[in-house]
Structure 1
Amino acid sequence: MFVLLMYGAMFALPLWVIAVVVKLLSVVVPGRRPDWARDLLRWSAGMAAVAAVIVYTIGLGSVQWDASEAESGAGSSPAVPCRSLPPGTLDQLAGHEPSYFPLGFDCLLDDGRVVAAGGPYSLLNLLTAAFGLAAILSLLALGLQDEYRARAEMKAESVAAQGKRSS
């Protein structure tokens, strides 16, 4: 199932890139709306969250693909991610264990040790965390910007009210 989702995410990735490029171009072009910064921040938070979901979905599909490949067919043992282990360690290979959170693929050795297999999983975990953090920070910045704007308006109203009283 995750492999099918991975294909959908891989299809969505170029569409995401196109949307980001078009949005950035719309910010550069003259004639922007007055609230373009707030709109861009809100939009960026959403797109960062979408990117985190896309990257994590691709990682889920990759883990499931490797696990499926390791369990069926000729040449399935050792598991493809475990084949990058050093020759001495590769001789002690007893099995494998996929991990869906965090993304990873562990190789189990005869003596009970667990060795992380090679593959793109650490990069996918890092990208997912970075995009997720970017989404959260963008939402926090949006909230702070709204709070700052509201306080500035209250302060301006207060100053205006005091000016009317003193006249």
Structure 2
Amino acid sequence: MFALPVLGLSVVCAVAVLISVARAVAMALPGRPRPWAEHLLRRTAAAFGWAAGAVYAVGLAGVLWSEAEVGDGADSTPAPACRFGFDPETIQGLSHHRASYLPLRFDCVREDGSVYAGDPGLVGMNWTWVSLALAAALLVIGMHCRAELRARKAAAR
């Protein structure tokens, strides 16, 4: 139910990434605004932030889609994400699933309590969106520290 709007959000974020990257690349062209370093930091941070949002939205759509498949007619329980693509030994004794939205996870739980990932690709998505968000935050912090240092130098003169 919520998976399609989240996929739409990921498309919006992807378009924003393309716009932000184009604006960052434009800093290499003649006629760039001054001071160009501040604009480049701001535009690169925006690109990283939008990219983090796009990756998270795609992963969230996957988790929501897997969650929506449960209880959706015949042969829907246990979750199809826990059954399809796995060998019979892995899915033997499957009892239920657990979904998490932060971090993104879709775990399949067996009767003995052991767990396996219904979508192993979510681990990579988690690391990707966290890395991009951290890079964006560090760029914003660096931009503000640079402005603070410049203000202190100007005040000392």
Provide the TM-score with structure 1 as the length reference.
0.81
Superposition pairs of residues 50-129 of structure 1, within 5 angstroms:
50-83=50-83, 84-129=85-130
Partner of 2:33: 33
TM-align CA RMSD: 2.0
User: Over residues 43-86 of structure 1, what are the superposed CA-to-partner deviations in whole Å (9 max), with x where a residue is unaligned?
Assistant: 32233223222222222221110111132133424423323344
CA distance in 2, matches of 1:37, 1:80: 50
1:24, 1:114 → 2: CA distance?
Answer: 44
Runs of 4+ aligned structure 1 residues displaced above 6 Å come to none
- For residue 22 of structure 1, what is the aligned residue in structure 2? 22
Q: 1:106·1:115 contact (CA, 8 Å) conserved in 2?
A: yes
Match of 2:49 in 1: 49
Q: Offset of 1:2 from its aligned partner?
A: 3.0
Letter of the structure 2 residue corresponding to residue 105 of structure 1: F
Displacement of 1:112 after TM fit? 1.7
Change (3 A) 1:15 1:134: same
Aligned residues: 156
| Higher Cα Rg, which structure | 1
Aligned pair in 2 of structure 1 residues 132, 25: CA closer, same or farther (>3 Å)?
A: closer
| Residues 56 and 116 of structure 1: CA distance in aligned 2, closer, same or farther (over 3 Å) | same
Percent identical among aligned pairs is 35
Unaligned stretches of 5+ residues in structure 1:
158-167
Q: Supply the AA of the counterpart residue of 2:12.
A: A
Distance 1:125 1:114 in 2: 18
Cα distance in structure 2, aligned partners of 1:14 and 1:45: 15
Unmatched 5+ residue regions in structure 2?
Answer: none
